[in-house]
Amino acid sequence: MDLPQQWPSATITVKLTGSGAIGIGMLVIGKPFEVGGAEWGVKASIDDWSLKKRDERFGTVEFVEGEYSKRLSLRTILEPHRFNMVYRQLAQFRATPCLYAPSAQQRFAGLIAFGIASFDVDVAYPSVYYCSLEIEGLV
C-alpha cells in the first residue's frame, strides 16, 4: 500500500525464504486510485460456495465445504470536482479485477478485497457527492 510512485521504472523483487513449503497467495502491484474517503458503515460479508444436499426421502443434510469470496458494500464521500474523473476510472475498470482497500489502517485489513466493483454516484448536494461501491470478491 505504500510503494513510492516517483520511480515509475523501478524493479520490484520478491524473495521468499524459509523451511518447508512457502508461498504467496496473491501479490497485487498497480497504481493506486482514490475514489474518496470511506464512511463508517462499511459492510463486509462472504458468498459461500459450499454445497448443501438434502436427502429427499429422509431429510438428512450432507455438506460439502467449498471456497468463499468476500463481498463489500461501502459509501465514499466524493469531492464534486473529482466526479468526472472518478466516474470514468470506475467505468473503465468495471470488468477488471482490482484490489479495493477502504482503509490503509491495519485494523481494517479484513475489509481489503480483490474483485469486481459496481458503483453508483449520488449527486446529493452541490458541495457533496457520494459514491457507493459494491465489490464482489473473487475466490
What is the rounded distance in angstroms from the CA atom of residue 13 to the CA atom of residue 77? 36
Does 12 fall in a domain? no
pLDDT at 1: 67
Low-confidence residues of the chain, pLDDT below 70?
1
Structural domain contains residue 98? yes
Give the residue numbers spanning the domain of 96.
Answer: 37-137
Contact 70, 93 (CB under 8 A): no
**10 falls within a domain:** no
The whole-model pTM stands at 0.80
30 within domain boundaries: no
How much is the pLDDT for 5? 73
The mean pLDDT of the chain is: 91
pLDDT of residue 104: 83
pLDDT at 84: 96
**Residue 1: inside a domain:** no
CB count within 10 Å of CB 74 equals 23
Domain total of the chain: 1
Does a structural domain hold residue 6? Answer: no
Residue 119 lies in a domain: yes
Q: Is the dihedral of CA 31, 34, 35, 41 positive or negative?
A: positive
Q: CATH number, domain at 59?
A: 2.40.30
By the 8 A CB rule, do 116 and 138 touch?
yes
Which residue is listed with cell 471456497? 67
- Answer whether residue 73 is part of any domain: yes
Q: Shortest CA distance to 93 belongs to which of 63, 114, 123?
A: 114
